Structure 1
Amino acid sequence: MEEERGTTERVLTLLGLLQQRPVWTGPELAERLGVTPRTVRRDVERLRAIGYPVQASQGTGGGYQLGPGQDMPPLLLDDEEAIATAVSLLAGAGDGDAALRALTKLDRVLPTRLRHEVRALSGSVVSFDGGRTPVDPEMLMTLARACRDEVEVGFSYLAGSSGQRRVEPYRLVASDRRWYLLAYDLDRDDWRTFRVDRMNEVTARSWRFRPRAAPDAASYVQESVASRVYAHQARFLVHAPAETVRAQIPASAAVVRARGSRCEVVSGAADLDFVLMHVVLLGHSFEVIEPAELRKRCRVLAERLSAAGGPGP
Structure 2
Amino acid sequence: MARDVGRSAWRTFRADRVVEVESTGEVVEVLDAPDAAQLVSDTITRTGYPFFARVRLPLSYDDARRLVAPIVATHEPDGANATVISIGGSDPDQLAGYLLSLRTPLEVLSPDSVREALLARLDALYRGNEAGRQGADEQP
The answer on whether the counterparts of 1:240 and 1:284 sit within 8 Å (CA) in structure 2 is: no
Post-superposition CA distance 1:171-215 (Å, at most 9, x none): xxxxxxxxxxx2233455532211122111220111223435232
Distance 1:189 1:243, change over 3 A: closer
The answer on whether the counterparts of 2:96 and 2:115 sit within 8 Å (CA) in structure 1 is: no
Q: Which has the higher contact order (CA 8 A, sep 6+)?
A: 2
Matched residue, 2:119: 299
Distance 1:195 1:298, change over 3 A: same
Structure 2 regions of 5+ residues with no counterpart? 135-140
Q: Percent same amino acid among aligned pairs?
A: 24
Q: Which of 65, 74, 78 is equivalent to 1:255? A: 74
Structure 1 regions of 5+ residues with no counterpart? 1-181
Matched residues, number: 131
The answer on whether the counterparts of 2:97 and 2:118 sit within 8 Å (CA) in structure 1 is: no
1:194 and 1:215 map into 2 onto residues whose CA distance is: 15
1:299 and 1:239 map into 2 onto residues whose CA distance is: 19
The equivalences for 1:1-313 within 5 A come to 182-225=1-44, 227-231=45-49, 232-259=51-78, 260-311=80-131, 313=134
Matched residue, 1:5: none
Q: Please state whether the residue corresponding to 2:12 is helix, strand or coil.
A: strand
The answer on whether the counterparts of 2:54 and 2:84 sit within 8 Å (CA) in structure 1 is: yes
Q: Please state whether the residue corresponding to 1:205 is helix, strand or coil.
A: coil
Shift of 1:277: 2.2
Distance 1:295 1:184, change over 3 A: same
Q: Please state whether the residue corresponding to 1:202 is helix, strand or coil.
A: coil
Q: Please state whether the residue corresponding to 1:200 is helix, strand or coil.
A: coil
Q: Please state whether the residue corresponding to 1:299 is helix, strand or coil.
A: helix
Shift of 1:238: 1.0
Structure with greater Cα Rg: 1
Distance 1:190 1:277, change over 3 A: same
Q: Please state whether the residue corresponding to 1:288 is helix, strand or coil.
A: strand
The answer on whether the counterparts of 1:230 and 1:270 sit within 8 Å (CA) in structure 2 is: no
1:224 and 1:193 map into 2 onto residues whose CA distance is: 7
The answer on whether the counterparts of 1:233 and 1:267 sit within 8 Å (CA) in structure 2 is: yes
Shift of 1:235: 1.5
Distance 1:298 1:276, change over 3 A: closer
**RMSD between aligned alpha carbons?**
2.4
The answer on whether the counterparts of 1:257 and 1:265 sit within 8 Å (CA) in structure 2 is: yes
Matched residue, 1:120: none
